[in-house]
Amino acid sequence: MAHSLAAPHPVHLDPLELDILNRRDAFGLPGREICDALIEIFFSRVAPILPVVNRHDFMRRYHDPANRPSILLLQAIFTVASRFLTDNLSSGNSANTPRAFYKKAKALYDAGYEQDNIAVIQAVILLGLYWDGLDDLVENGIFYWSRLGTALAQAEGLHQSETYVDLDPSESSLRKRIWWTLYTRDRSVAAAFGRPIHINTDDCTVGELTVTDFVEHDEYLQLEYPVDVTHARFFIEYVKLCQLMDLGLCLKLSSRSTHDSRNAEAAQCELGLNEWLVSCPAELHWRQARHSFLPAVLFSQFYTIVCQLQLLQEPCSSSESQRSAFNAASTVISILETLQSHGELRYAPSFT
């Protein structure tokens, strides 16, 4: 049975707009048991890779009838989490599918319902994970939400360090994580589909992420929640890998790149990968004998970049480079097979 987690409607919408949203069931939510399950799925499976929501603040509002979380953000969370909902909870109900939640979230976004700009950006990032097949790439699809999220974040100044000066630690850290999440999405989507990158790092002055940026503070209760260090280090290393992708992406997508410049940049990227491998925390190294989900995701990205280096040097790559690419591709396959054998492949991000 559906229940309400929505806050009072904002005053800027007229009755006709609210009526349209109601007709589209934009405020409709599943029963409490399913809502709880979807939120747990989101924070355990999605949030480590897209750390754009403060869990403790969200959960406090989730349980507070007087201060509910953003309904737009909630529908976006349900959009990505419902993909992993077990059959015994979904019961084949079409109202609990990713597409159903996506349509509700999109209706709320299109109506300009949410007035909290950060909540809008958070929702847009999450909606960028919704993929309705090969045709869903541009119009209201992956590229649409990815580019939109970046534009909204830049309008809010998330890429500029001076906008963080007067923020409390919790808000500052959240905004940094949101920005670097947008950066990783920009690079991974560009690499997956051969599209131009959208974020120019020369325009960005926001600082690099540290583990302390994953510490959540409750300013109301004056509490500091312990950080999951593994999750924090995973995302920090993931950002570093995306930064290493920049050389290859810019070169691969440039029609003016020469053979010599490709080889020079590939060598520089290879050096960076070796340095990253040495500095990567031991608990994040993937080994088939001691498989763990986040290291598997991280190293699938690493070995994919190694394969891309081979493509950058074609058709004159050395036999050593070709062997390295072959071994990297074999390792990616091993990672995917291991994820599948552990029932975790469904949780892996679509584009890493």
Whether the Cβ atoms of residue 89 and residue 40 lie closer than 8 Å to each other: no
Is pLDDT of 222 > 90?
A: no
14 against 178, higher pLDDT: 178
Rounded (5°) CA angle 311-312-318:
75
Structure tokens given for 295: 């290291």
User: Which H or E element spans position 218?
Assistant: strand 216-218
Is pLDDT of 2 > 60?
A: no
Q: How far apart are CA 69 and CA 56, in angstroms?
A: 12
Length of the chain equals 352
CA distances from 334 to 126, 241, 329, 340, 341 (A): 28, 20, 9, 10, 10
User: Which H or E element spans position 223?
Assistant: strand 223-225
Orientation of helix 293-313 relative to helix 169-193, angle to 10°: 50
In a 13 Å sphere around the CA of 190, the CA atoms on its Cβ side amount to 24
Q: How confident is the model at residue 193 (pLDDT cuts 50, 70, 90)?
A: confident
Is pLDDT of 79 > 90?
A: yes
Q: How confident is the model at residue 231 (pLDDT cuts 50, 70, 90)?
A: very high
Q: What is the pTM of this model?
A: 0.90
Q: How far apart are CA 115 and CA 1, in angstroms?
A: 28
| pLDDT given for residue 317 in this prediction | 65
Q: How far apart are CA 326 and CA 320, in angstroms?
A: 10
Q: How far apart are CA 72 and CA 105, in angstroms?
A: 6
What average pLDDT does the segment 192-221 reach?
86
What average pLDDT does the segment 277-300 reach?
95
Is pLDDT of 1 > 50?
A: no
Which has the minimum average pLDDT: 110-114, 226-230, 309-313? 309-313
Calculated CA dihedral for residues 25, 347, 245, 298, nearest 10 degrees: 150
Structure tokens given for 143: 């590229």
Domain boundaries, the chain: 10-227, 229-351
Where do runs of H (alpha helix) occur along the chain? 15-23, 32-41, 55-62, 71-81, 87-90, 98-110, 117-127, 142-155, 169-193, 229-252, 259-279, 293-313, 319-341
SS3 for 96-126 is: HCHHHHHHHHHHHHHCCCCCCHHHHHHHHHH
157 against 193, higher pLDDT: 157
Q: How far apart are CA 114 and CA 219, in angstroms?
A: 23
Q: Judging by DSSP bridges, how do beta strands 216-218 and 223-225 pair with one another?
A: antiparallel
Rounded to the nearest 5°, which phi and psi values hold at 223? -120, 150
| pLDDT given for residue 177 in this prediction | 98
Q: How confident is the model at residue 284 (pLDDT cuts 50, 70, 90)?
A: very high
| pLDDT given for residue 152 in this prediction | 97
Where do runs of H (alpha helix) occur along 134-200? 142-155, 169-193
